[in-house]
Amino acid sequence: MLIPFVALLLAQAPPPTAAEVVEKAPASDWRALDPENTLYLELAAGRVIVELAPEMAPRHVASIKALAREGFFDGLSIYRVQENYVAQGGDADEKRQAGRAKLKAEFALEKSAGVEFTRLADEDGYAPETGWVRGFAAARTSPGGPAWLVHCPGAFAMPRDEDPDSGTTDFYVVIGHAPRHLDRNTTVFGRVVQGIERLSTLPRGTGRLGFYEKPEERHPIRRARVAADLPEAERVALQLMRTDSASFAALVEARRNRREAWFHAQAGHVEVCNVPVPIREKR
Amino acid sequence: MLIPFVALLLAQAPPPTAAEVVEKAPASDWRALDPENTLYLELAAGRVIVELAPEMAPRHVASIKALAREGFFDGLSIYRVQENYVAQGGDADEKRQAGRAKLKAEFALEKSAGVEFTRLADEDGYAPETGWVRGFAAARTSPGGPAWLVHCPGAFAMPRDEDPDSGTTDFYVVIGHAPRHLDRNTTVFGRVVQGIERLSTLPRGTGRLGFYEKPEERHPIRRARVAADLPEAERVALQLMRTDSASFAALVEARRNRREAWFHAQAGHVEVCNVPVPIREKR
């Protein structure tokens, strides 16, 4: 009668912690970043790595890759940093972008049939369903219905004027509590996967909305490059946990109910912005 | 027939934006900070102002005021800064606090009858009800039931070891997306009302959990003082919008459905951590 006893023991083994899930995830539950859809922002403070989301915002991704490839961002700056909100960069003086075509908004896909969507079971106040589209925090109205990327910390998106189709060359990154009210109001087309502290620690602008008041306060963008264009030795080989994997499902549960001995109360709930997708250097 | 026409016009006047609500709030919808429950942390980077919550955590508030009054924090430091999470300060070397009594946890009030609680109508995944207790983001199980302060950006709380009653002298401040899983796991006993950028822009620690690895990386706390102990000329006279006021109710609605012309989609929802309580210098 040993086997039932062992089965009982196994059944009662405590669920893994988030650290244990990450440690034990098999190689098949990780994926490499695609260098063709990875942007390196080389700031004075160091490198910020952005994963782009061509599946969700193809026009915006094609545009920023073309801009990076022509050296558009080289010598421009981060020119707005607002506390608990966003850091914004690009063409502060709107000179270099003059005459360029505006980008038609990609706030949401009209249909998401065929888009791999890993649903989070927990309720969300802002959207009927949340989850992940290949690592990007996302939401949708229903299976196959409209879907969009949501504003979690690290979200990489296009600033605009009142006209929805007025975005051009710039970008902002969320550095504070998820501003979910921006969902479907701007085009999110990527997310920072490494180096966000190089944006979140920048001095806050003292102008309205966190704009720097003087040009000399701006933080230099030395270069922006598509990773695929760099020699392999200059790339960082990063792997992300696949959000459609069993390991990620276990991670979500480990974040919903924290099993570390330190916790005395379990939340019994988790929101999409409170499950950062694990990342590691390639093994 | 002029009057009905005017009434129709008024009825169709657009609801105010958040900025309009703040601008038009009558004096009676503001309250001054109580200097006896206001802590000034004088960092090398400047002043951080913390409003304390004696109603929700009397032992912790009494303790930190006594510590500030004996000069306990003077010359100590911010010794941990973790990206998108917390900045933590106090007695990094645990020398000055040696022999001091541990504080019994105040994770939640067992009963909240008599506590002024302004309920937020919107659903919350982490708690049956959320809202505000005199300006502090809070939650409760039900009217009169257990109530606690929640971990929004700026929350000021007591770090601890595995033992719930192991907090002593230190503090942490939330500088990222609301870590609501910490609710009811630590004692939140205040919130930063001004100067949080002096914490959120500090370099992130490269050690585990964002601890600085070398003592020279720590950021100096020059002094901590109870505002009431300073001459009035050295105080900042701040006023907060009363969370039990009609203006605040209008503000919540203005954050739930943004009426600025820039917005094309209305969230139709807001969470307690996405309604910062307006603050201004005394008029």
pLDDT for the residue A11: 60
Chain A residues with CB inside 8 Å of B122's CB?
Answer: 125
Strand partners, B239: B32, B280
pLDDT digits (tens, 9 = 90+) for A46-60: 999 999 999 999 999
- Put simply, whether A126 touches B (Cβ < 8 Å) is yes
In A15-74, the residues whose Cβ lies within 8 Å of chain B are none
One DSSP character per residue, B194-218 reads: E-THHHHTSPPP-SGGGB-SSGGGS
How far is the alpha carbon of A89 from chain B, nearest alpha carbon, in Å? Answer: 18
pLDDT digits (tens, 9 = 90+) for B36-85: 999 999 999 999 999 999 999 999 999 999 999 999 999 999 999 999 99
pLDDT digits (tens, 9 = 90+) for A137-175: 999 999 999 999 999 999 999 999 999 999 999 999 999
pLDDT for the residue A1: 41
pLDDT for the residue A7: 54
How far is the alpha carbon of B170 from chain A, nearest alpha carbon, in Å? Answer: 17
Query: Residue A189: what residue type?
Result: F
Residue A229, SS3? helix
pLDDT digits (tens, 9 = 90+) for A97-144: 998 999 999 999 999 999 999 999 999 999 999 999 999 999 999 999
Whole-model pTM: value is 0.95
pLDDT for the residue A10: 56
> In Å, how far from its chain's centre is CA B194?
10
Tell me which residue in B196, B204, B263 faces A197 most closely, judged by beta carbons: B204
Residue of B nearest to A123 (CA): B125
Q: How confident is the model at residue B1 (pLDDT cuts 50, 70, 90)?
A: very low
Which phi and psi angles does B30 have, rounded to 5°? -115, 155
> In Å, how far from its chain's centre is CA A46?
18
Note the helical H segments in B82-231: 197-200
B257-to-A105, A182, B245 alpha-carbon distances in Å: 21, 11, 19
- Put simply, whether A95 touches B (Cβ < 8 Å) is no
